[in-house]
Amino acid sequence: MDKLTKGILTVIAVGVIGINVQMLNGGNGFITKANAFGHEEIIKVQICNTIGKCAGISYDELLKVKVEK
């Protein structure tokens, strides 16, 4: 193999090892866990068409959306 191929494979190997070390540390390494910004606030969304008819939503075990025409 030429030097370029060896260099690229080395970079890939170092990256894979870095990802494994990161996962073994539980995400406490140089890449921290991501958190949503403003997660304390609940945002409500209503789905409506162009003439103002909005979807009815029922909260059983699953979210069901019914749109009347």
Distance CA 24, CA 29 (A): 9
What is the mean pLDDT of the segment spanning 54-68?
Answer: 67
Structure confidence at residue 32 (pLDDT): 66
pLDDT band at 64 (very low <50, low <70, confident <90, very high): low
Place of tokens 């996962």: 23
pLDDT band at 31 (very low <50, low <70, confident <90, very high): low
Q: Which amino acid is present at 18?
A: G
